Structure 1
């Protein structure tokens, strides 16, 4: 399975963070609308990410809930019929929540920088340092720590939970 090192932080000033990321990034960002449905899954997380009616990704991942850098293992499968797949998986497993966001994706080296506006939740920054086969988690953590420093992100701004958990804790997830 693929691996990455992830960090997530709450952002107060979207525009200021956008400017900092633009200076660090290798090029212009992509802006991507994402609608994620999570399914009940006993040994990890299973989510269907919908980009459009004809493009989605089913993603299974495992990662610890902790505030600092953490290793995530994931497996991804493309789909051309996300709505039908959502219905099937909801019938089979039950839905565990939904997260709708607009993601601004910057790249710097092997790191994906996500500036996320999450519906009902607010603004967040998420890094994903994508690890190659031979690279250790420690190598990715060092990259992530360096980025935290460059961006002036304090420890207390880090978040240890997934968006779906934060929304569920607020009682704000909505079902269509």
Structure 2
């Protein structure tokens, strides 16, 4: 089982943040476009359970390569971050995967569209996101294998956050999907 330890925050200046990430030895990765289709159903209330099921379609904006993954995210496991169980695997054809889910009673909700610039340092990923209809955000993530590793991983992410001029008080535990749904109300 993988546990995604994650913190997220709205950023003030995307270009400066990317410069600051490079200054603290993060290596710039690919710029990608991601389209996330989330699902709900009558037999499993993902919102109420604080869980998520999605199919993500990814397009590398440099190479044009495409891929898709299906992801289940469990409920958040603490009160200060977005940390949760995450199960993810590649999907050969996202349209067929969507049709399968919809054929067995899952209903799509409006898509979350974003442009994501990835940065990497050791086992930490920094995602600088430009989310359609929401603005610009930073996600800092580290995947761990055991519950016992969560506290140390969160501490590492908080240290990066502080080096970038932010604090845990700047973070949010609200998903992009929830932000967009709230905005539409």
Give TM class, smaller chain.
0.7 to 0.9
- Does residue 63 in structure 1 map to residue 75 in structure 2? yes
- How far apart, in 1, do the equivalents of 2:121 and 2:39 lie? 31
What is the total number of aligned residue pairs between the two structures?
A: 172
2:96 is matched with which residue? 84
- Does residue 7 in structure 1 map to residue 7 in structure 2? yes
1:17 is matched with which residue? 17
Residue from 101, 111, 119 that aligns with 1:98: 111
Residue from 45, 51, 64 that aligns with 2:52: 45
Unaligned runs of 5+ in 1: none
TM-score (norm 1): 0.87
Residue from 125, 139, 150 that aligns with 1:137: 150
Q: Secondary structure of the equivalent of 2:76? A: coil
Distance 1:54 1:117, change over 3 A: closer
1:100-139 alignment to 2 at 5 Å? Answer: 100-133=113-146, 136-139=149-152
Distance 1:155 1:137, change over 3 A: closer
- How far apart, in 1, do the equivalents of 2:111 and 2:182 lie? 13
Q: Deviations over 1:108-157 (max 9, x none)?
A: 11111000000111000001112144852111111011111111113442
- The farther-off stretch of 86-95 and 5-14 is 86-95
Distance 1:160 1:31, change over 3 A: same
The question of whether the paired residues in 2 share the 8 Å contact of 1:66 and 1:160 is answered with no
- How far apart, in 2, do the equivalents of 1:146 and 1:154 lie? 9
Moved over 3 A (4+): 132-135
Aligned-pair distance for 1:25? 3.7
Distance 1:54 1:127, change over 3 A: closer
TM-score (norm 2): 0.83
